[in-house]
Amino acid sequence: MRKLSLVLLVVAPLLALSACHPHHDDYDDDDDVIVTPYVPGGGADWGLFNHFEHDFASRDISDSSDQDGFEFALAQDSVVVITITGFGGFDGYLDLYHDDFSFITGDDDGGPGGDAVLVGSLSSGGYFVVVGGSGSSVGSYDIDISVEPLGGSDFGVLVPTDSFIDNGGVMDDAFDVDSYIFTVEGNVIGDFYMTTTSGVLDPNFELLDEYGNVIVFDDPAGNTDPFLINQALTPGTYIVRIGTSSGSGTYSLQIDIS
């Protein structure tokens, strides 16, 4: 079966870089403006990411023109999860670019409390993300990035009484891992069920928060399917990883929120 790949969570029109994105102006001999794009300072260069790697930074936005740029590169085609956690009422936005300065997409209020969240599949190569304050918002924030393998799905924002099922999961071998991403905007309870539907698997289940912390890892004995019941979740974005210690086959994953 064909593996599922994740598409960008936030679909935004391509905007001219000079319109509202980072640049500075030079002038030629005829006093014509030449727009020269650059990555804003004040951020960080995270370097090269492989699958299952995470990094973060704590920064602040001091005024309406302040922006921070964070550079990174992907060693493989990947699912990337980037989140902002604002403090003291800070309302931040995220803009994502290729390293050639072509705009990919952005988000402002896709996460809990007006925080920004970007989830999407990206090809290997170089990128950077820009953080700024929406409107005149200023304050401090944490930015986190997690890099996951292709496969799985983006469940988006889940609210109480939501039940999401992916019946297309595939485990090719013991090196395969599928990542599922979802966001909750309040204090909720999550139930998680992984069910083998064909083949022979020795499956395992891992739940992480957006800060890279492992909340639960379950690897039941033998070919028993893992599940997690009555897991308390606070507002934020989460990653579920499905893997297998041996074998191959297909499976379904169900998440119920209450």
Are 140 and 24 within one domain? yes
pLDDT digit of tens for each residue in the chain (258 aa)?
Answer: 223 334 444 333 222 332 344 443 334 455 555 567 889 999 999 999 999 999 999 999 999 899 999 999 999 999 999 999 999 999 999 999 999 999 999 999 889 988 999 999 999 999 999 999 988 899 999 999 999 999 999 999 999 999 999 999 999 999 999 999 999 999 999 999 999 999 999 999 999 999 999 999 999 999 999 999 999 999 999 999 999 999 999 999 999 999
CB 105 within 8 A of CB 156: no
Q: Are residues 22 and 47 in the same domain?
A: yes
Q: Which residues pair with 206 in a beta bridge?
A: 217, 241
Which of 148, 183, 213 delimits the end of a domain?
A: 148
Q: Could you say which of 118, 148, 178 is where a domain stops?
A: 148
**246 in a domain, yes or no?**
yes
Helix (H) / strand (E) element for 131: namely: strand 125-133
Are both 49 and 100 inside the same structural domain?
yes
Domain boundary among 148, 165, 189: 148
> Which stretches within the chain are classed as H helix?
17-20
Q: List, in order, residues 6 or more apart from 247 with CB less than 8 Å away.
A: 171, 174, 199, 200, 201, 202, 223
Domain tally, the chain = 2
Could you tell me the residue range of the domain that residue 41 belongs to?
A: 17-148
Same domain for 87 and 187, yes or no, is no
Residues 121, 157, single domain; the answer is no
The reply to whether 84 and 183 lie within a common domain is: no
CATH number at residue 38: 2.60.120.380
